[in-house]
């Protein structure tokens, strides 16, 4: 249940006959959908929350019985992709297309059915994501930039659960991510997605170096400062021995 701004008083003009669940004047949303709706609400209070719920329920039914490599229900993936896109403030159509982005490729749903249920724009976005596949020249293939954004969010969410895939698949996906998807996110100015793609790819491609760096970063701040202060004192003494005057600072 969503309280506050997402009650029926705000959503009354958005209610359709296809979604009728209500209780004492409040609209009840699936609890797993609430985090997504709250993120959208933070930047777009006029979003069509009921249509987003409709898309979520449609995708959940289409993917019913399908599991991810992690053993989770498959619907966790499109929901995660939608949340990533909401975190960078994307529009309702893109969020809905994200929720539906795998239904044509992985279920019996057709594009015509999507268009009938959600309109031609969303069907076109889903079709674009489906056709991109693993093509390298993503920008040249996509007619709508939102297709690229969905594809980037899709890759990011898949990278977050890459540890459940076979080792050879991990390396292949990580290499492709570092070579294609992370630079593409950088070209589009989406640094939040770029750095996470680079970081996770690095962890799977060079695990020993990654662990070494992670251990250094994980040191407590006071321990790091102690190391720096010790190095500064050592440098001062050595410079003094050779009669060199210098100001030394460290971070």
**Per DSSP, what are the bridge partners of residue 22?**
27
87, 106, 196, 199: which one is catalytic? Answer: 106
Phi/psi of residue 237, nearest 5 degrees: -65, -45
203: phi > 0 → left, psi -120 to 50 → alpha, else beta; which?
alpha
Phi/psi of residue 95, nearest 5 degrees: -60, -45
Spatial contact of 14 and 46, defined as CB atoms under 8 Å apart: no
Res. 19: pLDDT tops 60: no
pTM, whole model, 2 decimals? 0.76
pLDDT tens-digit profile of 177-200?
999 999 999 999 999 999 999 999
pLDDT at 155: 96
* Short-list 20, 41, 132, 149, CA closest to 94: 149
Helix (H) or strand (E) holding 205: helix 191-205
105, 179, 225, 234: which one is catalytic? Answer: 105
The CA distance from 187 to 197, in Å, is 14
* Short-list 117, 137, 139, 112, CA closest to 127: 112
Phi/psi of residue 26, nearest 5 degrees: -110, 145
The CA distance from 55 to 19, in Å, is 11
* Short-list 162, 129, 156, 157, CA closest to 143: 129
106 is catalytic: yes
pLDDT at 140: 64
154 is catalytic: no
Arithmetic mean of pLDDT, 126-154: 81
Arithmetic mean of pLDDT, 115-141: 82
**Pick from 12-16, 149-153, 158-162, 229-233: least confident:** 12-16
Arithmetic mean of pLDDT, 61-71: 93
The CA distance from 193 to 195, in Å, is 6
- What is the DSSP code string of 21-68? -EETTEE---GGGHHHHHHHHTT-TTS-HHHHHHHHHHHHHHTTT-B-
């Amino acid at each position: 249940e969503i309280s506050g701004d997402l009650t029926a008083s705000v959503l009354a003009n958005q209610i359709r006959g296809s979604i009728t669940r209500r209780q004492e004047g409040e609209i009840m949303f699936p609890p797993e959908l609430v985090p997504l709706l709250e993120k959208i609400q933070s930047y777009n209070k006029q979003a069509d929350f009921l249509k987003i719920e409709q898309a979520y329920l449609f995708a959940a039914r289409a993917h019913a019985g399908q599991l991810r490599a992690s053993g989770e229900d498959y619907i966790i993936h499109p929901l995660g992709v939608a949340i990533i896109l909401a975190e960078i403030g994307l529009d309702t159509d893109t969020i809905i297309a994200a929720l539906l982005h795998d239904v044509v490729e992985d279920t019996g749903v057709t594009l015509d059915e999507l268009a009938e249920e959600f309109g031609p724009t969303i069907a076109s976005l889903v079709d674009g994501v489906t056709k991109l596949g693993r093509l390298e020249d993503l920008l040249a293939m996509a007619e709508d930039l939102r297709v690229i954004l969905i594809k980037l969010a899709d890759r990011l969410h898949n990278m977050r659960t890459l540890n459940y895939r076979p080792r050879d698949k991990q390396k292949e996906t990580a290499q492709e991510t570092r070579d294609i998807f992370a630079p593409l996110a950088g070209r589009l100015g989406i640094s939040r997605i770029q750095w996470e793609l680079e970081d996770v790819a690095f962890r799977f491609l060079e695990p020993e170096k990654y662990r070494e760096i992670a251990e250094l970063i994980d040191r407590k701040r006071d321990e790091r400062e102690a190391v720096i202060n010790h190095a500064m004192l050592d440098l001062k003494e050595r410079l003094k021995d050779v009669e060199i005057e210098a100001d030394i600072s460290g971070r």
